Amino acid sequence: QKEVEQDPGPLSVPEGAIVSLNCTYSNSAFQYFMWYRQYSRKGPELLMYTYSSGNKEDGRFTAQVDKSSKYISLFIRDSQPSDSATYLCAGGRGSNYKLTFGKGTLLTVNP
Amino acid sequence: EADIYQTPRYLVIGTGKKITLECSQTMGHDKMYWYQQDPGMELHLIHYSYGVNSTEKGDLSSESTVSRIRTEHFPLTLESARPSHTSQYLCASRAGGLGNEQYFGPGTRLTVT
């Protein structure tokens, strides 16, 4: 079983839609979770970083972690064509910061 | 924007050649990482370093080697490239301690013919 599972999509939504991206993980030792956005031919950039269960909001983005069910989500409100990218979830543990990534979900927001 | 650079961005090279992928960061970060990413697949950690003269192999076995002689520089070398090495290679760095962001470079897309 992979430590982080993510539906690769692709996911296509109209502009303005609410997008829900999800991952599950199996490693109970994960202490923190991240969502990265990766545009084509670019390196990933960090969107959200959470330590504990609950919600964290930043503008149009909300990250949700449920450690009891080992489930993490990213919600994008009022999605824009510029949000079209691959979204990667990751879990990590310890100060050595070795991250384990999911496969990524390809999102297309259509104008 | 992150100050982490990778060269070359694209490389097409023949089998058997020795190659070095360059990675530099100007943020003074102690921790640096190399990931391998194939299309539609996860990023896999292949090497990491916690500081000068410190290097470790990652979770994915790789025939590449790395060195960390200077804080800002973390090159990756393949002594004899093979078609199976065709992939995207991403370098990343971060400052020590929890809560610090890991920054990625733009990547090197390597094709071995």
CA angle A1, B76, A44 (to 5 degrees): 55
* B99 neighbourhood in chain A, CB within 8 Å: 49
Q: Pairing mode, if any, of strands A105-110 and A11-14?
A: parallel
Give yes or no for residue A1 having a pLDDT over 90.
Answer: no
Enumerate the residues of chain B whose CB falls inside 8 A of the CB of residue A41: 106-107, 109
Cα distances (Å, whole numbers) of residue A88 to A39, B69, B112: 11, 31, 27
B71-88 in b/e form (b: 16+ CB < 10 A) is bbebbbebeebeeebebb
**Residue A44 to residue B59, Cβ atoms within 8 A:** no
Q: Which of B24, B30, B43, B91 to mutate to test the interface with A (most CBs of A within 10 A)?
A: B43
Answer for the pair A59, A47: CB distance below 8 angstroms, yes or no.
Answer: no
CA distance A100 to A68: 19
User: pLDDT, tens digit, for every residue of B13-55?
Assistant: 999 999 999 999 999 999 999 999 998 788 999 999 999 999 9
The B-side interface with A (CB below 8 A) comprises 2, 4, 31, 40-45, 48, 50, 58-59, 90, 92, 94, 96-99, 101-107, 109
Which residue among B41, B45, B96 sits closest to A103, beta carbon to beta carbon?
A: B41
Average pLDDT for A2-14? 90
- Return the closest-CA partner of residue A55 out of A35, A36, A81, A39: A35
Shortest CA distance to A32 belongs to which of B94, B2, B62? B94
Give the pLDDT confidence of B64-99 residue by residue, as tens digits.
999 999 999 999 999 999 999 999 999 999 887 666
User: Is A32–B109 a contact, with Cβ atoms under 8 angstroms apart?
Assistant: no
Question: How far B107 CA lies from chain A's nearest CA (Å)?
Answer: 6
**A41 pLDDT tier (thresholds 50, 70, 90):** confident
Q: Which pair of tokens denotes residue A70?
A: 């080992």
Q: What is the per-residue pLDDT for A34?
A: 92
